[in-house]
Structure 1
């Protein structure tokens, strides 16, 4: 059963820098616990104990566990989006950027997010689900923009760039299976193979 607090009054004061720092600590701690134990097994009391705040303090910042889960998930995905954009923008060429990105994602599997979502979705409000899915979509949009540039430069054949972004993200899920990673000597080797297969399938000529 979801943990919810009473509606906050309109007289709630503005957040101070200290409030924001506490909120960030709560989100980070919740993210860690959700990834380790899943949505249902984690309680607000556990989260509070782990980050050294009271349960009422969590309710001061979040309406309940589902609201905190939304914040934790969207924060994780926003961080992935920033890393994705940075790696692709800084790379000398797209293929190297994709390899670095795949290597990073293989070393820090993204698949537990889908596992958590499957467990949590029946207990979330539609707006919370949409917020999480939108944060995930923004990662695909970053990839899609780089794939569109490759098409404009006639490096990739014409295709729906968003479809290619989702396809590439799916390939990177191979790293969630320990067996797949054990077949290769390093994440870099597997990343190079994934990117090579992807690019051979989409480039011109």
Structure 2
């Protein structure tokens, strides 16, 4: 059996020195650049420069900018789902848990036009890449739907269409950061937006 030399395989980039893998560093850098600047403006050179890796290192892990974008958005949605699961798993009434999720989501996305962001990139993505992003987004709905189903089972809320309720809730949350033509928000602050969203949602679906 051949003895391993401990050397890297040719072409394989060095591991990052901060404890994160090079791939993780590239992904996190790409997420920030894509969200702040849009898909079309950001280049592989920009990502490599900001991640402090070579362009070859980026292409070692991702065959194209479109593939890196897809992986970045999926990774972001996985992180969002994990955070949602953490808040929904708290020992609180469902209303309070949903309020926590609403406030956290509004604060995290208050400067991001996610719908416009996705529209800009869609023409550059393959059908499979769009499908993977949609599947990751759907997983976020599943977490909220499951919270409704568990609350129904415990008798905390009446029987409702859990999937419809989950999609309706997310749609309302997206309205919270809507900007008017002059750039003004519909609400004075995140707390007012969250309270308004939860009031409409709760009365509409729970009836209380």
What TM bracket, shorter-length normalisation?
0.7 to 0.9
Helix, strand or coil at the partner of 1:108: helix
Gaps of 5+ in 1: 1-10
Instruction: Output the CA distance in 2 between the equivalents of 1:63 and 1:188.
Output: 42
Q: RMSD in angstroms over aligned alpha carbons?
A: 2.5
How far 1:194 moved relative to its partner? 1.3
Instruction: Output the CA distance in 1 between the equivalents of 2:14 and 2:173.
Output: 40
Which one scores higher on RCO, CA 8 angstroms, separation ≥ 6? 1
Gaps of 5+ in 2: 1-8
Counterparts of residues 52-131 of structure 1 (less than 5 Å)? 52-109=52-109, 112-131=113-132
Helix, strand or coil at the partner of 1:90: coil
**Residue 183 of structure 1 is aligned with which of 182, 187, 206?**
187
Residue equivalent to 2:143: 142
Residue equivalent to 2:6: none
Query: Normalization by structure 1: what TM-score?
Result: 0.84
**Residue 195 of structure 1 is aligned with which of 173, 198, 201?**
198
Q: Specify which structure has the higher proportion of helix.
A: 1
**Equivalent pair of 1:156/1:204 in contact (CA under 8 Å):** no
Helix, strand or coil at the partner of 2:53: coil
How far 1:158 moved relative to its partner? 3.1
Instruction: Output the CA distance in 2 between the equivalents of 1:117 and 1:189.
Output: 27
**Equivalent pair of 1:66/1:123 in contact (CA under 8 Å):** yes
Q: Which has the larger radius of gyration?
A: 2
Residue equivalent to 2:51: 51
How far 1:147 moved relative to its partner? 0.8
**Equivalent pair of 1:38/1:116 in contact (CA under 8 Å):** yes
**Equivalent pair of 2:13/2:57 in contact (CA under 8 Å):** no
